[in-house]
Amino acid sequence: MLNLIHISDPHNESRTVERVVRLAKAHPKWDVIAMTGDCTSGYQMHVDERFNTLPQKHLFSVPGNHDIRDNAYLLLNRWVTECPWVAAVNGAWFLGLDSRKSVHKNAVVDILSRFRSNGHVLPSLFVIMMHHPPEKLGKIIPDILTSIFTVHRHHPRVLILNGHEHPKNFSRQWTKAKNIGCDWNVSISQICSSQGEHGGAHFITWDGQLFRKEYRYMDQKGCIITMKN
């Protein structure tokens, strides 16, 4: 069983950061916080240190296009931030990509291959975290999936977590993958925590076969509101 909270694009807005942090602290037993970029904005060049106070054991992040400084995440001393990175949690593999730059397939495949050779069991779920929508990377994602898993005749479910695109009043979306160039079973969680209700997140549970997903946010009175996707 894996429980993860997906947040993105807080843009260092004080109200959004406060609500996201309070929301995460209200769910201390969840396994993972996955933050997919645009955590800074304007003159605020470093990610808010309040994110270091979250109680979850696994804190993963990737940068967005607004995180223009290479050391934007320097103050997040409890987080995994240096892309590309890979981690395993409860039977799932997480891969963090910096979609602001060119992603080199061979380098990513090498990291994953070494991770596998270090004794990590092949996952039932493969989670790819990036800031931009997956189609921005072209054929990189299907090439990575094929290079790592097809050789082992292994076919995990794939979950892509991203942010970036948030037209007016957009807050969240859960879809099946389109236009990423492969026929794998891929689901996509897209979130913008600084729009809509301010401070919202996708709460995603994977039981080894199926996803359960909800959108939750904390209102002005501190009440947690849950909405089905």
CATH of the domain at 32: 3.60.21.10
pLDDT recorded at residue 195: 82
Alpha carbon distance 158, 146 (integer Å): 12
Q: For residue 226, what pLDDT band results from cuts at 50, 70 and 90?
A: very high
pLDDT recorded at residue 165: 80
Residue at token pair 């602001």: 100
Which helix (H) or strand (E) segment is 160 a member of?
strand 157-162
Judged against a pLDDT cut of 80, whether residue 178 lies above it is answered with: no
Alpha carbon distance 219, 114 (integer Å): 44
Alpha carbon distance 203, 123 (integer Å): 20
Alpha carbon distance 48, 40 (integer Å): 8
- 192: domain range? 2-228
Nearest to 15 by CA among 162, 161, 222: 222
Alpha carbon distance 20, 192 (integer Å): 11
Average pLDDT over residues 91-105: 92
> Residues 4-32: pLDDT tens digits?
999 999 888 888 999 999 999 999 999 99
Which helix (H) or strand (E) segment is 141 a member of?
helix 140-149
pLDDT recorded at residue 129: 97
Average pLDDT over residues 83-89: 95
pLDDT recorded at residue 105: 87
Alpha carbon distance 130, 163 (integer Å): 8
Cβ 41 vs Cβ 10: under 8 Å: no
> Residues 114-160: pLDDT tens digits?
999 999 999 999 999 999 998 888 888 888 888 888 767 888 999 99
Alpha carbon distance 212, 10 (integer Å): 24
Judged against a pLDDT cut of 70, whether residue 190 lies above it is answered with: yes
pLDDT recorded at residue 65: 75
Provide the number of structural domains found in the chain.
Answer: 1
Mean pLDDT of the chain: 89
pLDDT recorded at residue 168: 67
> Residues 105-125: pLDDT tens digits?
899 999 999 999 999 999 999
Average pLDDT over residues 30-50: 86
